[in-house]
């Protein structure tokens, strides 16, 4: 008999709780005030509403549940609860002793103690400033919806986090509130994450007053008010489209350059008519170095995606080698010009080109070998974060990220030395040219100036182009790539045009000599 009474009592009790948190009550304007024992039944009523009419009355449900939680009565310092779609934490706070609050949560645990929640997916940090306008004891409510059914948008981790202080509206915090979402899965490269709050007045997501900070595996929202927050994921079509355009442009730029340079080399090999002087041979060597550079740069990104270590190391090594070769041949161009004009070195002409080749192809080989000797695994995958595409990374085969010092010394250092050398050589040449102005013939002078312009043009093109590609922006940054492609293709075209002019001259002079011979 007692047992029956007890069971009856429990049923009555349970019904009373259901009654307070009945669906009609939640959806109408009745304001239930509940004891903590009924929170669970309120939460399951909310679950039911979400399941039945996803999103239709989201703001009403959120609003009512928040009021209930703000006004729940309990003994002790805090309570927590969880249900299918909800997890919450209500704590009593006293403005006198309040020193900020941190709450950690995942989908089945919530606590203000970091250690109590393993693998938390959300961390909330509330500044103590929130209680400046509050006099008596109050409650801080944390409530998380573990679904995006209510809001019909893709949100990170399917989590919507709400925080409020009983009967107080908190806005324009000087020290912002931090809500950190730890990503369960990495973001898709084609998605953009934005911290937003649920704007009750418009029933829409709004990002005003919230800052989005993307970091490794987490997204931090800094917001200057309190309400319901989430990280919205929207397709970043722009970024994807940009990436496509950029890849295409890079392909075209390198392609044009490669084609022009290859044609030049083939024509040079096939054509015996043109004057095969030292300048031509040096230009041809530079062209060959540039062909190598483009050849190893063009497919680099695609091949890097195979993640084959052997292949990647080889590619990285060759790319670095050909880059250094190009720089070295640039320096040789300047040196040669200096020698042509100033004739200070009496190098045996038969060995001159051989010696230059030894330097031009040998010195980079020495540098690369040294690098391998010092750090065996210096070459490999290099990750280049792209800020433009919101931290989707580009991988390429080059000097790996672990050896950044080496990367800078072996590239910027080398380039700087070559650049300084070129500047010095060209400077000396120009000074020399000025001083011999009166003595030399105007034709000779014009030729010298033409040479200087050629080499200046090539130097600046080479330096800027590959400087851009490798040091300042990383291969695929937005403005960098546009510049790079234009300059790179210009360089190839430039050498090609120079070669065509040379051939024209050669055929003209041979033609004139032909006519001359027939005359005689």
Ligand X SMILES: *[C@@H]1O[C@H](CO)[C@@H](O)[C@H](O)[C@H]1NC(C)=O
Name the residues that contact ligand X, by CB under 6 A.
Answer: 31, 33, 35-36, 67, 71, 73-75, 80, 82, 100, 109-111, 118-119, 125-127, 129-130, 132-133, 170-173, 175-178, 186, 188, 190, 192, 194, 199, 202, 204, 206, 208, 212, 216, 222, 235-236, 238-239, 242, 308, 310-311, 383, 385, 388-393
Q: How far is the CB of 107 from ligand X (least distance, A)?
A: 10
State the minimum distance, in angstroms, from the CB of residue 4 to ligand X: 25
User: Cβ of residue 239: shortest distance to ligand X, in angstroms?
Assistant: 3
State in angstroms the smallest separation of the CB of 501 from ligand X: 42
Helix count (H) and strand count (E) of the chain? 13, 15
In the bound state with ligand X, the residue whose beta carbon lies nearer, of 237 and 358, is 237
Who contacts 89 (Cβ-Cβ below 8 Å, separation ≥6)?
78, 79, 80, 103, 105, 110, 111, 112, 141, 142, 143
Longest dimension (CA), the chain: 141
Distance CA 316, CA 310 (A): 10
Query: Least distance to ligand X from the beta carbon of 130, Å?
Result: 6
- In terms of CB distance, is 113 or 344 closer to ligand X? 113
Asked whether 341 and 473 are in contact (CB, 8 A), the reply is no
307 vs 351, which CB is nearer to ligand X? 307
Could you tell me if 196 and 212 are in contact, meaning their C-beta atoms sit under 8 angstroms apart?
A: no
- Cα atoms in the Cβ-side hemisphere of radius 13 Å centred on 294: 28
In the complex with ligand X, the residue whose CB is nearer, 238 or 431, is 238
Nearer to ligand X, 248 or 440 (CB): 248
Closer to ligand X by Cβ: residue 246 or 287: 246
What lies within 8 Å, CB to CB, of 259 at 6+ separation is 492
Smallest gap from residue 322 Cβ to ligand X (A): 19
Least distance between ligand X and beta carbon 167 (Å):
7
Is residue 179 within 8 A of residue 161, CB to CB? The reply is yes
Q: Are the beta carbons of 179 and 221 closer than 8 angstroms?
A: yes
82 membership: H or E segment, kind and range: strand 78-82
Give the 3-state secondary structure of 40-57.
HHHHHHHHHHHHHCCCCC
Residue closer to ligand X, measured from CB, 70 or 333:
70
């Amino acid at each position: 008999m007692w047992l029956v009474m007890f069971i009856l009592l429990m049923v009555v009790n349970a019904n009373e709780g259901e009654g307070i948190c009945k669906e009609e009550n939640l959806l109408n304007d009745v304001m239930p005030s509940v004891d903590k024992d009924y929170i669970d039944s309120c939460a399951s009523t909310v679950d039911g509403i979400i399941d039945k009419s996803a999103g239709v009355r989201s703001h009403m449900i959120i609003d009512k549940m928040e009021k209930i939680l703000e006004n729940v009565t309990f003994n002790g310092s805090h309570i927590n609860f969880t249900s299918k779609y909800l997890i919450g934490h209500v704590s009593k706070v006293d403005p006198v002793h309040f020193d900020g609050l941190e709450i950690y949560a995942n989908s089945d645990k919530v606590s203000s103690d970091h250690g109590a929640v393993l693998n938390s997916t959300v961390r909330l940090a509330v500044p103590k400033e929130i209680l400046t306008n509050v006099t008596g004891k109050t409650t801080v409510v944390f409530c998380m919806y573990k679904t995006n059914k209510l809001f019909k948008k893709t949100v990170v981790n399917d989590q919507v986090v709400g925080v409020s202080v009983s009967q107080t509206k908190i806005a324009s915090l000087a020290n912002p509130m931090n809500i950190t979402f730890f990503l369960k899965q990495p973001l898709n490269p084609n998605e953009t994450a934005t911290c937003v709050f649920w704007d009750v007045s418009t029933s829409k997501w709004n990002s005003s007053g919230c800052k989005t900070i993307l970091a490794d595996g987490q997204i931090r929202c800094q917001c200057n008010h309190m309400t319901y927050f989430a990280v919205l994921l929207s397709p970043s079509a722009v970024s994807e489209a940009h990436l496509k355009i950029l890849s295409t442009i890079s392909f075209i730029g390198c392609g044009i350059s490669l084609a022009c340079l290859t044609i030049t080399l083939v024509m040079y090999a096939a054509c015996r008519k043109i004057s095969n002087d030292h300048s031509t041979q040096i230009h041809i060597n530079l062209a060959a170095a540039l062909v190598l550079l483009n050849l190893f740069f063009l497919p680099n990104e695609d091949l890097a995606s195979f993640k084959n270590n052997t292949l990647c190391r080889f590619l990285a090594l060759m790319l670095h080698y050909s880059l250094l070769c190009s720089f070295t041949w640039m320096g040789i161009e300047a040196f040669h010009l200096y020698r042509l004009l100033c004739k200070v070195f009496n190098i045996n002409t038969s060995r001159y080109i051989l010696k230059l080749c030894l330097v031009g192809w040998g010195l980079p080989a020495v540098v690369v070998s040294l690098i391998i000797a010092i750090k065996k695994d210096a070459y490999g995958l290099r990750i280049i974060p792209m800020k433009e595409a919101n931290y989707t990374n580009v991988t390429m085969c080059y000097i790996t990220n672990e050896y950044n010092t080496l990367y800078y010394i072996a590239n910027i250092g080398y380039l700087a030395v070559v650049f300084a050398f070129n500047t010095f050589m060209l400077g000396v040449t120009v000074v020399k040219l000025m001083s011999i102005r009166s003595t030399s013939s105007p034709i000779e002078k014009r030729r010298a100036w033409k040479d200087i312009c050629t080499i200046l043009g090539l130097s600046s093109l080479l330096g800027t182009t590959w400087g851009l590609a490798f040091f300042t922006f990383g291969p695929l940054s937005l403005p960098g790539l546009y510049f790079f492609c234009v300059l790179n293709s210009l360089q190839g075209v430039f050498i090609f045009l120079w070669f065509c002019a040379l051939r024209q001259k050669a055929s003209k002079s041979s033609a004139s000599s032909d006519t001359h011979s027939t005359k005689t």
